Structure 1
Amino acid sequence: MVGSNDRSKFRLTVRYIVATALLLVMVFPYLYMVLSSFAAWNQVDRKLIPTSYTLKSYIWLFTGGESGVPRPWLHAFFNSVFVSLASTLLMMVFGVMVSYALAKVKFRGRSFVNNVILFQMFFPAIILLVPNFLVIQKVGLYDTYWAMIIPKAVSLWAIFMYTNFFKAIPTAFIEAAKLDGATDLQILYKIMVPMSKSITTVIFLFLLMERWTELLWDMIVVRSDGMLTLNVLLSQMFGPYGAYPGPMYAASVLLTLPIVIIFLIYSKKFKEGMQFSLK
């Protein structure tokens, strides 16, 4: 009996050690980036853990680097927040509405639509880059917020996730609501959406992260300084300044910090949603 308890404790200890090691492996790159952003320039990428720290990299960023011309960081940050939130909310609204129809509304061609969505999910999105750009240019949306928002307003992945979740909700709830005179739109936003808070958090975080880190499309459809997102501004700035690793780490911290904060706020709901999606 004693030997069995000792083996159990040993196995548990080994699991904790392995889990801790894996956690350090995953977290250390971000920690290294943060430390390097505050490190003295003569220690950046020369020491694994810097011993001297300064704000020089951040000051260099906000004062315009060698050009000495301050960049519109706050405005670019606002652009990123506005475009990311608007695109994400549209993707979720369309995702919820289409998914409800595919999961709970019987109509001719539903299987065909489902198959088309599955096919499009495996279709390389970059192939549509030029056609989408030409459409945006033809309709006069070039260099506007709409050019960055509308083409990113639909997510097939969100539709797929919501459809699978809605299928698991008993139809009895919908039938009872219809007997009380509720419309499909009322059922969707008063019954289905409140019941899907956990999966909604997962979808929201993934979509927001994907849109926040978008670079190629935003570079193509905007040209004026007032329309630049944070990603585009950083890419423009570090084209000629690639030899400055300290400020590059600082810029990366500024870019990832909002996503990290949002994830920490919604981490509990995120774990609940992931548990469902992995069932």
Structure 2
Amino acid sequence: MVGSKANNKLRLSIRYIFAIVLLVIMVFPYLYMVLNSLADWSQVDRKLIPTKLTLRSYQWLFTGGETGITRPWIHAFFNSVFVSLVSTALMMLFGIMVAYALAKLKFRGRDTINNFVLFHMFFPAIILIIPNFLIIQKVGLFDTYWALIIPKAMSLWGIFMYTNFFKAVPTVFIEAAKLDGASDFKILYKIMMPMSKSITTVVFLFLLMERWTELLWDMIVVRSDGMLTLNVLLSQMFGPYQSYPGPMYAGAVMLTLPIIILFIIFGKKFQEGMQFNLK
């Protein structure tokens, strides 16, 4: 009996050690990036854990750098915030409305549209870049906020997630609301949306992260410095700014920090939404 308890404790200890090692492996690259963004330039990429910390890399970004090439880092950051929030809001709005129609309304061609959504999700998004670019160019939206927002205003993945959730909502709620004279828009706003807070958090975080980290499309449709998003500006640092690794790390921290903060804030709702998806 004593030996069995000792074996159980040993197995538990091994599991904890294994979990801690995996956690360190996953977290250390980001910690290394943060430390090097704060490190003195003489220690960047030269010490595993820098001993001299400074804000010089961030000051370099915000003041335009020392190369004589002005880069609007603050403006690029707010470009990313604006474009990501507006695009995500549109993706969620259209996703909720389309999903409600596909899940709860009866109309001809509903199954065909459902199958099209599933079929289209298997296609890589990159095959649509050239057609989308030509359309944006012909309608005169090149190098504008519209070029960054409109092609990213619809997410088939978001429609798929909301459709599956709405299908699980008992139809009796909708029928009772219609008996009281509620329209479909009122049912969607008053019943479906309040019931979908958990799944909305999951969809919001994933769509926002996807749009926030978009690089290729943003590089194609904008040219002027005033329209650059933060990830495009960061990618350009590998050219003229490659001799400034500290600011490169600082820019990477600026790019990832908002997403991490959002995951921390909405962590509980995110877990609830993921548990529903796994059922």
| Fold shared by both chains (TM-score > 0.5) | yes
Over the aligned positions, Cα root-mean-square deviation in angstroms equals 1.5
Separation in structure 2 between the aligned mates of residue 213 and residue 63 of structure 1, nearest angstrom: 24
Matches within 5 A, 1:1-279: 1-279=1-279
Separation in structure 2 between the aligned mates of residue 118 and residue 141 of structure 1, nearest angstrom: 30
Deviation at 1:41, TM superposition (A): 2.1
Deviation at 1:11, TM superposition (A): 2.7
Deviation at 1:114, TM superposition (A): 1.1
Deviation at 1:37, TM superposition (A): 0.8
Q: What SS does the aligned partner of 1:50 have? A: coil
| 8 A Cα contact 1:199 1:270, kept in partner | yes
| CA deviation map 1:207-241 (0-9, x unaligned) | 00110111111111112222111112222343212
Of stretches 256-265 and 71-80 in structure 1, the one that deviates more from structure 2 is 71-80
Separation in structure 2 between the aligned mates of residue 70 and residue 198 of structure 1, nearest angstrom: 43
Separation in structure 1 between the aligned mates of residue 41 and residue 19 of structure 2, nearest angstrom: 34
User: Structure 1 length normalisation: TM-score?
Assistant: 0.95
| CA deviation map 1:68-126 (0-9, x unaligned) | 34422222111111100000000001111111111111111111111111111111211
| 8 A Cα contact 1:63 1:69, kept in partner | no
Separation in structure 2 between the aligned mates of residue 127 and residue 13 of structure 1, nearest angstrom: 49
| 8 A Cα contact 1:100 1:163, kept in partner | yes
Separation in structure 1 between the aligned mates of residue 34 and residue 125 of structure 2, nearest angstrom: 32
Of stretches 225-234 and 74-83 in structure 1, the one that deviates more from structure 2 is 225-234
| 8 A Cα contact 2:71 2:225, kept in partner | no
Separation in structure 1 between the aligned mates of residue 112 and residue 145 of structure 2, nearest angstrom: 33
Separation in structure 2 between the aligned mates of residue 136 and residue 176 of structure 1, nearest angstrom: 45
| 8 A Cα contact 1:62 1:70, kept in partner | no
Deviation at 1:206, TM superposition (A): 0.6
Separation in structure 1 between the aligned mates of residue 65 and residue 238 of structure 2, nearest angstrom: 10
Separation in structure 1 between the aligned mates of residue 12 and residue 235 of structure 2, nearest angstrom: 46
Q: What SS does the aligned partner of 2:66 have? A: helix
Separation in structure 2 between the aligned mates of residue 4 and residue 169 of structure 1, nearest angstrom: 47
| 8 A Cα contact 2:62 2:74, kept in partner | no
Deviation at 1:248, TM superposition (A): 0.8
Deviation at 1:186, TM superposition (A): 0.9
Q: What SS does the aligned partner of 1:106 have? A: coil
Count of residues in Structure 1 that have an aligned counterpart in Structure 2 = 279
Of stretches 99-108 and 13-22 in structure 1, the one that deviates more from structure 2 is 13-22
| 8 A Cα contact 1:104 1:166, kept in partner | yes
Unaligned ranges ≥5, structure 1: none
